Chains A and B, each alone.
Chain A
Amino acid sequence: GQQVMQIPQYQHVQEGEDFTTYCNSSTTLSNIQWYKQRPGGHPVFLIQLVKSGEVKKQKRLTFQFGEAKKNSSLHITATQTTDVGTYFCAGRGSGGSNYKLTFGKGTLLTVNP
């Protein structure tokens, strides 16, 4: 079945440093979504990427979807303490009527003020 791998598992940074998490799928994806889960909370949708090579920005967050639609990354510039949480990528398989969303294991980001 479809697998979505995400690295690193943990990342600790000093406030102001940059952060990147990477996501790789075993199969080609129709789209990929990113979610953020604060400690003790539930996953909250950040963004969806659909097109090959797509790049989207949300303030200090930059999301990329690979040309082959099998990998993606999230980059945060100049981290802040409010960025603390676990970032998940979630991929949806291509073809057919598959609506299943498979999550990576997430990257836990901690920020030292």
Chain B
Amino acid sequence: DAGVIQSPRHEVTEMGQEVTLRCKPISGHDYLFWYRQTMMRGLELLIYFNNNVPIDDSGMPEDRFSAKMPNASFSTLKIQPSEPRDSAVYFCASSSPVTGNTGELFFGEGSRLTVL
């Protein structure tokens, strides 16, 4: 398997512009996570899905952020309008628990976002 695939790898945009980050999880994984990583705050969970349904979006910073998972093989994280404080590396990860509450996370390479 190719692993978790994210795009774009790098994005530089201006404040106020819309940003869309994309993720293709590992085939067969039924959990998908979006994390944001910054030096100050570390790895923050933004939202996670189970079988394409959002389960916990309590980490989504504000209404400017939205995430969708229209099918089992694709998810998007959208920021509209973007602000300089959104600059970070955004990771997508997928998982498939084998039994009970277990399952390692497989991370994508990340999307590095810079908002000027």
CB neighbours of B35 from chain A (8 A): 103
Main secondary structure, interface of B, reads strand
Proximity bits, B30-42, A CB within 8 Å = 1, else 0: 0101010000011
CB neighbours of B93 from chain A (8 A): 43
- With A99-B55, A99-B97, A101-B33 already in contact, the answer to whether A48 and B45 are too (CB < 8 A) is no
Which chain B residues in 43-86 approach chain A with CB under 8 Å?
Answer: 43, 45, 48, 50, 55-56, 58
Of the candidates B45, B48, B107, which one forms a contact with A44 in the assembled complex, judged by CB atoms under 8 Å apart?
B107
Residue of B nearest to A102 (CB): B45
Residues of chain B whose beta carbon lies under 8 Å from any beta carbon of chain A:
31, 33, 35, 41-43, 45, 48, 50, 55-56, 58, 91, 93, 95, 97, 101-110
